[in-house]
Amino acid sequence: MSKSAKHPLPVFDPASFKLPPTGVESHAHLDDRRFDSDRAEVLSRAKAAGIAFIGQVFLSSEQLEQGQGLFALYPEVFFLLAIHPNEAYLLTDGELEKLRVNCKTNRRIRAVGETGLDYYWKDCAREAQKTTFIRLIHLALEVGLPISVHSREATEDTLEILVAEGAVNHPLVWHCFGGDSAMAERILKLGWHISCPGPVTFPANKTLREAIKNIPADRLMLETDCPYLAPMPYRGKRNEPAYLALTVQAMAEARGVDAAELWTSCGKTAMKFFGLVPGQPCSYSISTSKLQPCSVDVSAAGGSLGSALPPKCFA
């Protein structure tokens, strides 16, 4: 008999967590084929878990065109649009123009992302990734949308590019944060936000839980990155937005606060960041938030970055 047969996973009941309808799933890939058989049920469970809004990520204009219809009946779903660093070669001049037009005209698009650098996989040359990342940063600055950053084993290059290209004083969330307290401090000192994923629940991930303890609530968001990175006890299984209830429990325990309180505060932070209003569909006119003027400690942010900081950051 297999281990799973001896110890079957518990049946997940999102309503059992009794969380208020104030949560925001800031990063999901619900167009993935792994949701084709039960996407409606997944979205229903998200609502039952207390999720008010879901950020659906599209990783090309083609993905957007093919997938946005899946969410036509779900006004609580907003969009993020960009090119993943592992497919940086997709950003031709023509594709960039399509992204630009969509970001300017599709009111459900609330951020440019995910974009950044990924040195873990070897699918795309680093220089190609950097070029695409820079072009997408410029796009976000041009159209006035927040940035969702993907950075894996590329922290220093990611920070250097963001600072050099003028993103310090721009709304930005570090998607799927997995670093330590020192890394979190550097991100926060540059005026940005941090989004926490399911691995915070993994027993061995003490470093991440320690980092999460000290992130201000008005800079902290929640995400699943589903169908990836399911929290315990579903690690290795398909993830879904409702599992945020498990993630926030672990975060609240680490911070020594009430889970419902943290759920709501993270939700409010995400709503402000993405320009969302409770009770309003994600297609209404956007009003993006502005971060507080950044106060940058160059040594904490990475001393070598200081010369590249825009003067306005010292105002």
The model's pLDDT over 50-84, given as tens digits with 9 standing for 90+, comes to 999 999 999 999 999 999 999 999 999 999 999 99
CB atoms within 10 A of CB 208: 24
User: pLDDT tens digit string along 262-311?
Assistant: 999 999 999 999 999 998 888 755 444 433 333 344 343 443 333 333 22
Task: Output the average pLDDT for the chain.
Answer: 89
* Structure confidence at residue 6 (pLDDT): 56
* Confidence band for 169, pLDDT divided at 50, 70 and 90: confident
Task: Give the per-residue pLDDT at 302.
Answer: 42
What radius of gyration do the chain's Cα atoms show?
19
Q: What digits encode the pLDDT tens for the residues 197-244?
A: 999 999 999 999 999 999 999 999 999 999 999 999 999 999 999 999
Measured in whole angstroms, the distance separating CA 77 from the mean position of its chain's CA atoms is 14
pTM of the model: 0.89
Using the predicted structure, report yes or no on whether residue 313 has a pLDDT greater than 60: no
More confident residue, 110 or 15: 110
Phi and psi for 226 in degrees, rounded to 5? -60, 145
Domains plus CATH for the chain? Answer: 22-314 (3.20.20.140)
